[in-house]
Amino acid sequence: MKLCEIVKIMDEIAPPELACPGDPVGLHVGDPGQEIERIAVTVDATPRVIGEAVRRRVELIITHHPLTYTPLSSVRTDIYPQSLIYRIVSAKMALFAAHTNFDVAPGGINDALCSRLGIRDAEILEPTVNESLFKLAVFVPEESVESVRDAIFKAYPGKIGNYSHCSFASPGMGTFKPLPGAEPHIGVVGEMERVQEMRLEVLVAQDSLHSVISAMTAAHPYEEVAYDVYPLKNEGAKYGLGRIGALQKPMSFDGFCEMVRDVLDAEDARVSGNPDSIIERVAVMGGTGGSVMELVRSRGADAYVTGEVRHHEALHAQAIGLNLVEATHFATERPGMVDLAPRLYDRLSESGVSVVYMDDKMIEE
């Protein structure tokens, strides 16, 4: 399968528009036309991971963290991270990063963290994106409605809540007169034409509007496609960082900390709080999450699990009586990347592409 096709699938799993401003997600290294047979998924493209990828003849490394966050002035073998990029290019591998967009995305870093910790009915902790919606109305001859509708839904699923492929069609009479130079699908140049048409309506998210219109016009039989686009005030899907929900079974904070260390393999986790307090409602944020202590407390969390916090942020949690588990940056983001590997494999296996997860802990010296 070509790299550009895999990039498209990754953009469906972790849409780049969900990334925080300035976050350099996406394809960092590689030829979009390269054929890919072996993929390695990891949290970080470390020297050991890159070496193992070379040994396994991997063509694409998908990381959570980008190797570089700013443009490079050179690619030298004696400066980090340029040396690693040079090594990736020399091995003819590609490098792709799904960072804050995968933190935010459904089924991403924070949802995987909830799954591991047994948190149910999880909600978004800190909303970051509210999807803007548009109504697309296109006028189609009756015999072409299904083909145009199918083309639209291939570009965007037409979701309303828990339903997809939602549309509405109403009949009407279309009129037009082809002018000199036109090549009409129906009718004759210079003569008024009346055609039984359908007004086909669908909801489209703003970020998909251009691709939907392109797919629609390509499938439409008319030389000139008549369509309208209306901005809507309907609330679209919400996305955001972190999650908050209820434990399947309440437990003491001491017992909760033991469970977190066990399921996340986070022996180095640091904790602060009352060991005897009962934990029912838990907030999580993979990676760095020290800036939202007040938000976590205001949402009624009894405990907060994140990857790392600054000293004054830990003091803030203590001051407001918030039980805190700092489970390390890597341990809170690893589950999401572990889960990504089989998700990708399910999408790519029929094309003969293998997908494995690897990190420094798994690779022998």
Question: pLDDT tens, 280-317?
Answer: 999 999 999 999 999 999 999 999 999 999 999 999 99
Look at the alpha carbons of 336, 340, 341, 342 in this order and tell me if their dihedral is positive or negative. positive
Residue 232 corresponds to which amino acid? L
**183 φ, ψ (degrees, to nearest 5):** -125, 80
Spatial separation of the C-alpha atoms in residues 141 and 120, rounded to whole Å: 48
Spatial separation of the C-alpha atoms in residues 70 and 66, rounded to whole Å: 10
pLDDT at 235: 86
Do domains 3-99+333-362 and 109-128+240-327 share one topology? The answer is yes
pLDDT digits (tens, 9 = 90+) for 37-87: 999 999 999 999 999 999 999 999 999 999 999 999 999 999 999 999 999
pLDDT at 236: 87
CB 331 within 8 A of CB 266: yes
Spatial separation of the C-alpha atoms in residues 1 and 20, rounded to whole Å: 29
Match domain 109-128+240-327 to its CATH number in 3.40.1390.30, 3.50.30.60, 3.30.1360.30, 1.10.510.10. Answer: 3.40.1390.30
What is the fold of 3-99+333-362? 3.40.1390
Average per-residue pLDDT in the chain? 96
Residue 349: pLDDT over 80:
yes
Residue 91 binned pLDDT confidence (cut-offs 50, 70, 90): very high
pLDDT at 28: 97
Q: What is the DSSP letter of 66?
A: -
Helices (H), the chain: 3-13, 47-55, 82-90, 100-104, 109-117, 145-155, 209-219, 253-263, 293-298, 311-319, 329-348
Sheet-wide strand order for 227-231: 168-176, 193-205, 133-141, 227-231
Q: What is the mean pLDDT of residues 19-45?
A: 97
Task: Mention every residue, 6+ apart, whose C-beta is less than 8 A from residue 298.
Answer: none
Residue 20: pLDDT over 90:
yes
Q: What is the CATH architecture assignment of 132-231?
A: 2-Layer Sandwich (3.30)
Task: Give the rounded percent of residues in the chain with a pLDDT score beyond 70.
Answer: 100
Q: Which of 103-112, 113-122, 155-164 has the least mean pLDDT?
A: 155-164
Q: What is the DSSP letter of 161?
A: T
The vertex-208 CA angle with 203 and 210, nearest 5°, equals: 105
Spatial separation of the C-alpha atoms in residues 243 and 246, rounded to whole Å: 10
Residue 161: pLDDT over 90:
no
pLDDT at 365: 62
pLDDT digits (tens, 9 = 90+) for 209-265: 999 999 999 999 999 999 999 999 998 889 999 999 999 999 999 999 999 999 999
**347 φ, ψ (degrees, to nearest 5):** -85, -25
> Domains of the chain: which residue ranges?
3-99+333-362, 109-128+240-327, 132-231
Task: Give the rounded percent of residues in the chain with a pLDDT score beyond 90.
Answer: 94
Sheet-wide strand order for 119-130: 119-130, 238-252, 278-288, 303-308, 323-326, 270-272
Q: What is the DSSP letter of 20?
A: P
pLDDT at 145: 97
